[in-house]
Structures are given as C-alpha cells and as structure tokens.
Structure 1
Amino acid sequence: MIDFILWVLQNIVLAPYNLLVALINPGAWLNWSNPEAVMRFIYYGASVELFFVAFTTFLVITVLGLVWKREILWGSVLGLETMANGIGRVAAWAGLLMVLQQVMIVFLQRIFRVAEIQMGPMGTAFAQDLSWWAEELKLYNAAVVALCVTYTFVQGGHVRVDLFYSNMKYGTKRLMDMFGCMFFMLPAATITYLYAWFFMWRHLMTPSVTATSDLDRMLMQSRIFRWNVETIGFSPNGFNAYFLFKILIVLFCVLTFVHAMAFFWRSLLEYIEGEESDGKYLDRDGFSSEAEEIEHAIHTGST
C-alpha cells in the first residue's frame, strides 16, 4: 500500500515536468509524417503520464478554488458545461438529418426506384448506393449518443430511478454526487477510454498496437508503420467508414471524463455554499409549457 501511495505521489510530482516536455517538443509526437511520432502519440494518448497530467490539473484547480478564489472552480464549471451544451446542441441536429435522410431514401427507393444518390458539393461528385446511405444513418445515431451524453447530463435528462437518493437531504445528495464522480464516473470513463483508444488505432493503421505494448516496442514497430484506415462494410455496397464509430467512442469517453470533473466541482461548491447555490450558472433549455417541465422532472427523477 505504501509503495502504491509513493508511486501516485511520484507521478503527481512528475506531471508538470512531463507536460512541459511534451509542450516544448511537439515535433516528437505531432509530426505525423514521422512514423515514430505517430507511435509516440498513440502510446502517450493512453499512458500513465497523460492520466496524471489530467489528474494533477484537476487537483491543482480544486485546491486553488478552495484556498484562494472560489470563482476559479465556478469558472471551470461554467466553461465545461458551456462546452458540453455547445457540442450537444450542435450534434443534436444529426437527429433531424437522420429523419430527413431516411424519408428521402424511402421516397427514392420505393417511389422513384433510384439505385444510388449522387451529390456534388463544390464540383466534386460523390455517388453511393442507397444501401450505403441507409447504413450511414447509424452514424447519425451514434453521433447523437456519443456527443450529446454530457449535454443531456447538464440538462438533467438522464433517467434516474433512485429510491434512496431522492429521500436524502440536500447536503447528503451533494456528497453522494461527489462520491459517484470519483469512484464510478471517472474510473468507468478512464477504463472505457483505455480500451477505446487502442481499439480505434487498430482500425486506422498497422501494425496492431495494444495497451500492454511499451514505448520501445512501439518505436520498433514504427519501422513497418503504414496507414490502413478501415473501409470494409457489412455488405458489398454498404457503409464503409466504420472507423468513425471508433473515433466517436473515444470522444464519448473524453467528454464523460471531463464532465465528471465539472460535476464534482459543482457538487462540491453547492455543498459548501448550501441550497442557495443549487443550479447556480446552470444553463438548461426551457420547455414551452409548465406541464412539460413537470413531466420532464418526473421522467428524470428530479422531483
């Protein structure tokens, strides 16, 4: 146990140094014309060093907000929640595109008997079979799920069926929220990200990389590195850009991890400041009627 604590403290102390080295040597991991730089990017993208840079940043902001200015924490919460709302509100339009494209496919296929759809934005023709466009609808659905998850969290849209939580006092609820962030939300997002990161890269390049590969081995593999973006569909004329789903999984994990920190800070501040700070600076979309507000509150368990 002592060795583990010392290991954690050592990585926290080294986090600023590791971040500084990465910032002053961008060519070592951002020059993607060099296969070794790509391998370094892949390795450090899911490394212990990156995790402790993020964790140390979280600790520093938390300490500064508590012992110096509480506005630092409120500013961080407001910034991250604004980011979540902005991404979610833009990504939500994919739902409308999905409906319109589905209607267009049905009309073209069943009524006009068209076999393919051709588009020519800016003079560049892009033609695909109707089955390609039909399977591509799944990408819109995945984008809504992956990119609107934190927006839905900010809006209080996730369904809660929590018999114990609903009967707790205000301060106890905030403590439970902080506990859930630290021991459930952050670990789950981290573990999922570690799997998703290497899962994504295995469909973008060769040779295959794994979470157990060390940096030296990956640098040796860079000698045979080549891009090999996945373009295989489930059917001959079907959608063939499934690597985009892998990228969305990674984005989902990053957004969840970042918003877990924001929700922890909000719960901490609301616990310290009391009920008068409940929902402070919270930007939630309104409803057209009071009945819809009540229905939403019942549906999400926030009543």
Structure 2
Amino acid sequence: MDAILWIIQNIGLAFYNFGYAVTHPSLWLDWSDKQAIMRFVYYGGSIEFFFVVFTAFLVLTLVGFFYRPLLWRVVRLFEGIANTVGRFFAWAGLFMVIQQIVIVFMQRIFLSAEISLGFGRAFTFDVSWWGEELKFYNALVVCLCATYTFVQGGHVRVDLVYSAVSFRAKKIIDMIGSLIFMMPAAVLVWMYGWYFMWRHLIVPKPSASDSLERLLAKSRALRWNVETIGFSPNGFNGYFLFKVLLVTFTAMVFLQAIAFFYRSYLELVEGPFSENKDLDKDDLGDPDAKLVADIH
C-alpha cells in the first residue's frame, strides 16, 4: 500500500517538477553556473526525472486510447528519428573500412609512423591512434543504428512460439515485450550509464547515491576533467565519447520501445490491414521483379 501511495505521489509531483524545470531553465541549463551543472547531473539520473518521463508516457497513452491518430504521429516521429539517425551513421561502417585500408598502406607499404588528415593545419596522430579510433566507428554503428535496424526488422530473432500464433497474439506479445523487457532494460542502463558518463567528464566525481544537496556542495570544487587517457601511450584518447554513446543509445532504445508498444497496440485494435502502416522501410529493390520488367 505504501508503495502504491509513493508511486501516486511521485506521479502527481511530476507535473510540478516538469513545470518548474520549464519555467526555470537557468537553474539547470546555465552551465556558467557550477550548481546548474550539478543540478543537471542529479536530475538526469533521478527518480524525479523518471517519473516525469513515466507520467508523460501515461498521459500520452491515455489520450491516445481515445484519439488514435495521436499515437500514429508519435510512432512516425520516433521511427523517423531512428531511421534518420541510423541511415546517417551507418556510413561510419564505410569510413571504418576506408580508414583501415589507409592504415595498412601507410604502415606496411610507406612505413609511416603517423597519419595526417586535413588541409593547411593537418590533424596528425600516431598510426596506433588511428587504429584504436576504429573502435569508435564501430561504436557509432552499434549504438546509433540499433533502433534503425529494429525498425527495419533486421535483428536476429530466436523464434520458438511467435511465428505459430495468431496475429492478435503476436501484437500482444510485442506489447508485453516492449513494456517488460525493452523499457525496463533501457531505464536500468540509463540510470547506471548517466553517472558513469559524468564520472569521466567532471570532478569531483558524482555518484548515484549522492543527494542533490551533496552534489551542490561538491559544485564548489567542480571543474571539467574530460577523460583523455588512452589504453596505450599513443592510442586513441577520446574514450569519453563511448560513455556519451551509451547514454544516447539507451535514450533511442527507450523511444523505440514506446513507438513499438504504440504500433503493436494500434495494429491490434485496427486489425491486420494496418500492419506496417506508415512504416518507412528501406527498399533495396526486387531483382526478380526487375528481371521480369526488363524481359517485358
């Protein structure tokens, strides 16, 4: 009973917290103020922020139950974000291959210890730096193209039951999966990843167990201390970017979980004819259809 009252109380406070944050942006967005940075760090991984997001989801869902076009707009928006971001950063795979080829040529054929990139004032680093930086391209593809791949239906499925059940059962499974697996997993990774990221950006290092008052007290000694230490003496020194990607990946997964839940619900209610409605899937062309067209 106490847990239920606690949840209801936090849902009610979410409206106040959101309104206060919107009407007082300088308290957490004016980063010339060290306390504003610490407020941003605290609230980004706080219970208050969780309930603001959770309450917004509840309100949007309740309104959408009575006005389904709103949910379709949300689905198109979130799937559009996943597709746009994924299609752009998928090119990182090509750059990764090209850079690896350049590294091989420069190291094995030209026997160069450094690679310079740019015009005028060149961007020069040791070959080992460029070699380790390939991990960053791979991280871009994994983190920023995961939801794009999900929208496109490109993830590997281990299907033991799904294909054998009815259309309605599939949609119910999808709804339950998004609520029980995708959303909680995204929230859990966010809660850990948020402070993991900030611990590599500022000192004194914030902790998930710190209260707001404790973080505001730490802000007196706050300074930026971005992680620039590589695993090797001349290796890649931007590993803080991986922490930023982890948080970005989590946010995109959570948004896609919402979109998937809404799409599954809408297809369940509207029937099989609405399956894949407004789904922006890549069209690589049908070679058989093209061959028939050429013959005719």
The AA in structure 2 aligned to 1:233 is G
2:99 matched residue in structure 1: 101
**2:4 & 2:169 partners in 1: Cα distance?**
29
Q: Does 1:163 align with 2:130?
A: no
1:211 matched residue in structure 2: 208
2:83 matched residue in structure 1: 85
**1:229 & 1:124 partners in 2: Cα distance?**
24
Deviation of the 1:53 alpha carbon: 1.2
Deviation per residue, 1:218-273 (Å, 9 max, x gap): 01111111111001001101000100000000001000011100100000000101
Deviation of the 1:290 alpha carbon: 5.8
The AA in structure 2 aligned to 1:41 is F
Aligned counterparts, 1:108-187, within 5 A: 108-121=106-119, 123-187=120-184
**1:244 & 1:209 partners in 2: Cα distance?**
18
Deviation per residue, 1:113-164 (Å, 9 max, x gap): 111112235x443210011001000000001000001100000001101111
Q: Does 1:198 align with 2:213?
A: no
Cα RMSD (Å): 1.1
**2:179 & 2:50 partners in 1: Cα distance?**
14
**2:138 & 2:46 partners in 1: Cα distance?**
30
Secondary structure of 1:50's aligned partner: helix
2:292 matched residue in structure 1: none
Deviation per residue, 1:181-210 (Å, 9 max, x gap): 111110001001111111111111111111
Deviation of the 1:10 alpha carbon: 1.3
Aligned counterparts, 1:2-13, within 5 A: 2-13=1-12
**2:61 & 2:277 partners in 1: Cα distance?**
18
The structure-2 alpha-carbon separation of the partners of 1:270 and 1:102, relative to structure 1 and needing over 3 Å to count, comes to same
The AA in structure 2 aligned to 1:228 is N
2:36 matched residue in structure 1: 37
TM-score using structure 2 length:
0.95
The AA in structure 2 aligned to 1:5 is I
**2:172 & 2:188 partners in 1: Cα distance?**
23
The AA in structure 1 aligned to 2:273 is E
TM-score using structure 1 length:
0.93
Instruction: Give ranges in structure 2 of 5+ residues lacking alignment.
Output: 289-296
